[in-house]
């Protein structure tokens, strides 16, 4: 792939709920992730999003799209507003070559299809079984077959995963987001299995744990080592490789531990990013004047200097 100007671990085609959710998981895992997001978006046909968990009274589509794009960037992925024209295999290589309408060429180990409307960019993979004839307003046209991938997003082509279109799992934004996350976890698990992990230590769980979870026996690294050795199938692994996998796994487990102060810092960061994306003015407009006045008066009183003798 030396002739390619750029190479990443994962390219995701489509930055809607499915693609953005997949990107958050792959980027947070540490995979160099690039999202191409330009083209027809299913969400643009929605007047107002009312059934996405976490928004009690719903959310405007434009605001929601800004939030998911910001989340993708916050997770460490790169997002570009470019339209992917083709995905092809590199001769003699298991990698993919991705070309955009804007002239960008990128190499990637993994491609996640997440464009709900169009799969024509995959024609270059020369897999006729990907497509099916579909009647649209009396005309027959070839469309990507939503059943081409299995329920986990895997396809017969190594390194190609499908988060969208995925039949009924693409019908609602919140379901599509969950499917994108599931497909991302599938590809992460596949990569972990390629490294030699197996059993219950092969899946990746993206979460952080409070210090209380590390009380008692689980505060001891040896307890984690014991559990790791019980779960992994080590018959075909060298002792050196097994030791490396074990050490990495236990280190990563302890890296998920967060203190109360770290939780507070992350919560503050989360609120700050939300305000940055939504806009302070929009949030203030949503509050009544009396509440704002009481808050300002209270903060002013707290910050006022205390006179001598008081």
Give the residue extent of every domain in the chain: 7-192, 196-258, 260-303
pLDDT above 70 (res 59):
yes
- Mean pLDDT, the chain, whole residue set: 92
Q: pLDDT tens-digit profile of 185-206?
A: 999 999 999 999 999 999 999 9
pLDDT above 50 (res 169):
yes
Question: What's the rounded mean pLDDT across residues 153-175?
Answer: 94
3-state helix/strand/coil string of 240-256: HHHHHHHHHHHHHHHHC
Give the pLDDT score at 107. 96
Taking Cα atoms as reference points, which of 49, 138, 124 lies closest to residue 84? 124
pLDDT above 90 (res 258):
yes
Residues 6 or more apart in contact with residue 93 via CB below 8 angstroms: 1
Give the pLDDT score at 135. 66
290: Cα within 13 Å, side-chain hemisphere = 0
Taking Cα atoms as reference points, which of 17, 192, 159 lies closest to residue 93? 159
Per-residue pLDDT band for 33 (boundaries 50, 70, 90) equals: very high
Instruction: Supply the CATH classification number for the domain 7-192.
Output: 3.50.50.60
| Burial of 48 per CB tally in 10 Å (0-12, 13-18, 19+) | exposed
Give the pLDDT score at 17. 96
pLDDT above 90 (res 180):
yes
Give the pLDDT score at 142. 77
Q: pLDDT tens-digit profile of 211-257?
A: 999 989 999 999 999 999 999 999 999 999 999 999 999 999 999 99
pLDDT above 70 (res 306):
no
Q: What percent of the chain has pLDDT over 90?
A: 77
pLDDT above 60 (res 61):
yes
Reply yes or no: is the peptide bond before residue 91 cis, omega within 30 of 0: no
Structure tokens at 292: 């704002």
pLDDT above 50 (res 2):
no
Per-residue pLDDT band for 1 (boundaries 50, 70, 90) equals: very low
Q: What is the pTM of this model?
A: 0.91
Structure tokens at 284: 């203030």
Give the pLDDT score at 118. 78
Please report, to the nearest 10 degrees, the dihedral formed by the alpha carbons of residues 281, 282, 287, 292 taken in order. Answer: -10
Structure tokens at 39: 């083209």
Q: What percent of the chain has pLDDT over 70?
A: 94
> To which residue do tokens 């998911």 refer?
68
Question: What's the rounded mean pLDDT across residues 162-173?
Answer: 92
Q: pLDDT tens-digit profile of 74-123?
A: 999 999 999 999 999 987 788 999 999 999 999 999 999 999 877 889 99
pLDDT above 70 (res 302):
yes
Query: Which residue would you say has higher pLDDT here, 147 or 33?
Result: 33
């Amino acid at each position: 792939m030396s002739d390619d100007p750029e190479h990443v671990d994962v390219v995701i085609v489509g930055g809607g709920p499915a693609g953005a959710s997949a990107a958050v998981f792959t980027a947070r895992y540490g995979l160099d992730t690039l999202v191409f997001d330009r083209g027809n978006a299913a969400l643009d046909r929605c007047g107002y999003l009312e059934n996405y968990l976490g928004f009690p009274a719903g959310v405007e589509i434009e605001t929601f799209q800004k939030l998911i794009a910001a989340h993708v960037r916050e997770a460490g992925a790169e997002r570009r507003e470019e339209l992917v024209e083709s995905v092809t295999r590199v001769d003699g290589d298991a990698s993919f070559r991705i070309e955009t309408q804007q002239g960008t060429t990128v190499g990637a180990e993994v491609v996640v299809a997440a464009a709900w409307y169009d799969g024509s960019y995959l024609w270059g993979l020369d897999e006729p079984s990907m497509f099916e004839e579909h009647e649209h307003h009396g005309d027959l046209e070839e469309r990507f077959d939503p059943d081409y991938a299995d329920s986990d997003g895997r396809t017969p082509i190594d390194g190609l995963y499908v988060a969208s279109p995925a039949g009924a799992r693409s019908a609602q934004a919140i379901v599509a987001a969950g499917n994108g996350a599931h497909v991302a976890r599938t590809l992460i698990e596949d990569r972990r299995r390629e490294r030699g992990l197996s059993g219950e230590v092969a899946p990746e769980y993206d979460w952080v744990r409070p210090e209380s979870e590390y009380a008692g026996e689980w505060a001891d690294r040896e307890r984690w080592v014991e559990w790791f050795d019980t779960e992994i199938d080590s018959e075909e692994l060298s002792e050196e490789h097994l030791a490396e996998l074990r050490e990495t796994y236990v280190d990563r487990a302890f890296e998920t531990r967060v203190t109360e102060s770290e939780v507070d810092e992350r919560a503050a960061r989360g609120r700050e990013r939300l305000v940055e994306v939504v806009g302070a003015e929009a949030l203030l407009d949503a509050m009544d004047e009396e509440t704002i006045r009481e808050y300002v008066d209270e903060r002013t009183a707290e910050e006022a200097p205390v006179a001598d003798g008081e």
